[in-house]
Every structure is written in C-alpha cells, then in structure tokens.
Amino acid sequence: MLKPYIVSADIRLLMKTWAVEHGFALPAEEFFRQLREEFSDHLQGIFPNFELVSEDEISRGLANLTIKNGLPTISLDRVYLESKLNLEITRLVDGNNADRGLTHRPGTPPLAQQIKNLQISGVREVIIVDDVIFTGILLERIIALLSEINIQVPLVCAGIGITEGINRVAGTAREICCVRLYEEVIDEVCERDFYPGVPLSGRLLTGGDNTGVPYLLPFGRPESWASIPSERALTFSKFCIRQTLALFDEVERCSGKPVLCRDLGRKVVGLPTDGTRYVDALRKIL
C-alpha cells in the first residue's frame, strides 16, 4: 500500500483571526471547500494517497482529548486549541534557506523567558498539545526542559501522530493520544506553508520582521521541505500561488477593499512590505 501524503488544514482558522484583527471579511465556507477540492485534486496527481485532514476534525478531536483529563494544557500550536499556557516556537532559516534552528514566534518572548514564565506559573502537571508529532525530537526536548523546572507531562495530545515520533516520545513512559494516527507517511505539512502571506506561513527568516519563507518556488525549498518531486516543484509552486491569489482576491471582494502587503499576517520574503496591493505583487512572480 502506498504511504500517504498528509496536509493538515488550517488556513481558514488563521485567516479568520487575521480578518477580524485587520478589518477584512472572511470568504464563505463554500469558497474554502472549493479551494481545498482543487488543492486536493492537484496533490492527488502527485501523491495518489493524498489526505487533507480538516480543521474541524483536528480542533474537535483535540478538545475532546484534553477535556477528559482536566489538567492545564501547554499548546505548541495555538491554531487548533486555545490555551492560557503556550510555547511559541518556530523554525528559522537564513537568506540562503539554510536551517538555523528554532526560535520564538514574532511578537512573543524569547524561549528562555517563555520557559521562565511557565516555571513561575505554579503548574506542576500539564498536557502538551501539538498539531503534529512527526519525528518527536522537538517534543522530547520540550518535555526534558519542562522536567528541569519540575513540570511533569503525563499526557501528550496531537492532531496527527506518526508512529516514529510517537514511539520516541512514548519511550519516556507517558501517554500519547492523537486524533489521527499513521504508521508511515511520505510527509506531513501544514496547509498554511503552501499559501504565502497567510499568518504563520512558511519558515521564519532570520533578521526579518515576521517574514516567512513559504514552501514554494521561488521562495523556499518545496523538494526538501515538503517532499515535492523536483520535476513537479515549479508546476506545484505556480498552482499554489494561483490558489493564494484566488484566496486574497476573494478576501478583497468580500471586504470591498484591497489587501496591501503591509496588511499581511506574515510578510513574504522578496515581496514588498509597503502599500503595494498584495495580489499585484504576487502576480508578478508567476
């Protein structure tokens, strides 16, 4: 049986929050349904065993998993589950798209301060909630850091769990619960990483003021970051850019005003950050 290629849907939730904060109107659910049908059709042409896991399934599933336990939650990805306690961590790359480790998300305290805040919060047992457990390496590090400040993690909940990562984390004798569980996958990618300008899209650029590097050409590395075959990378990237144009065109139509580059929830590497209309800037790279 072919290994699946998984994308976790999140752009509607992210765009909803952004629209409220910036005075725009969110497109109707029917628009997102059609956009995702087109996305799924395209991905199935590359990966026959493609699956798009819905936002609603992940959000409801995580809520059900955590409410049964009653412990405070620390969220590593606040998209699907709001929590009073968070660890805001993201991947960092330099101008050559080389990996530069992990850092705090823009607008949040440095990681050392986030850990200190948890230490002084007074909690001693928590549930860690994440969107995906893939390799389990980051989660293992976080659990170790929390242990150093006397915070124990008896339960980890995730939207999507891959067996390799689950086994690594479960090796520390804690319970793991997932909304969706997969033995093996080709890859697992967040939907937002394929839509430039959507909040949290792509990896964070060093030295940039909330500038993202999407998993598409000509920005990032779809082959190594998202397992897109090299011979399909350009066609796939152009498709995703057209999808993004459709999304922001519809936001403008619903809102009755343009979306400017400075309005974006995350700036896009190489594109303007001023009053340029975003869809105009994006069309120039097609």
Domain co-membership, 192 together with 179 = no
* Res. 168: pLDDT tops 70: yes
Domain co-membership, 177 together with 251 = no
- Count: domains in the chain: 2
Digit-coded pLDDT (tens) for 230-257: 999 999 999 999 999 999 999 999 999 9
Task: In whole angstroms, give the CA distance from residue 273 to residue 90.
Answer: 21
Given this model, what pLDDT does residue 218 score? 97
> 150 lies in which domain range?
56-185
Q: Which amino acid is at 139?
A: L
* Res. 178: pLDDT tops 70: yes
Higher pLDDT, 1 or 224: 224
* Res. 283: pLDDT tops 90: yes
Q: In the chain, pLDDT over 70 holds for what percent of residues?
A: 99
Domain co-membership, 65 together with 157 = yes
Domain of residue 94, CATH code: 3.40.50.2020
* Res. 1: pLDDT tops 70: yes
Domain co-membership, 110 together with 204 = no
Domain boundary among the residues 148, 163, 185 is at 185
Domain boundary among the residues 185, 220, 252 is at 185
Given this model, what pLDDT does residue 84 score? 87
Given this model, what pLDDT does residue 67 score? 86
Residue 18 · residue 5 · CB < 8 Å = no
Domain boundary among the residues 128, 151, 185 is at 185
* Res. 173: pLDDT tops 70: no
Look at the alpha carbons of 27, 76, 156, 4 in this order and tell me if their dihedral is positive or negative: positive
Per-residue confidence at 279, pLDDT binned at 50, 70, 90? very high
* Res. 174: pLDDT tops 90: no
Per-residue confidence at 70, pLDDT binned at 50, 70, 90? confident
Domain co-membership, 200 together with 171 = no
Domain co-membership, 40 together with 146 = no
Domain co-membership, 228 together with 121 = no
Domain co-membership, 5 together with 101 = no
Residue 148 · residue 178 · CB < 8 Å = no
Lowest model confidence (mean pLDDT) among 3-7, 80-84, 125-129: 80-84
* Res. 137: pLDDT tops 70: yes
Average pLDDT, the chain: 94
Q: Is it true that the peptide bond before 218 is cis, omega within 30 degrees of 0? A: yes
What are the strands of the beta sheet with 99-104, ordered from one edge?
Answer: 99-104, 89-93, 203-205, 211-213, 267-268
Please measure the distance between the N-terminal and C-terminal CA atoms of the chain and give it in whole angstroms: 36
Report angle CA 126, 13, 264 to the nearest 5 degrees. Answer: 115
* Res. 180: pLDDT tops 90: yes
Domain co-membership, 67 together with 157 = yes
Domain co-membership, 172 together with 92 = yes
Domain co-membership, 106 together with 201 = no
Domain co-membership, 66 together with 135 = yes
Given this model, what pLDDT does residue 172 score? 67
Task: In whole angstroms, give the CA distance from residue 245 to residue 253.
Answer: 12
Given this model, what pLDDT does residue 170 score? 85
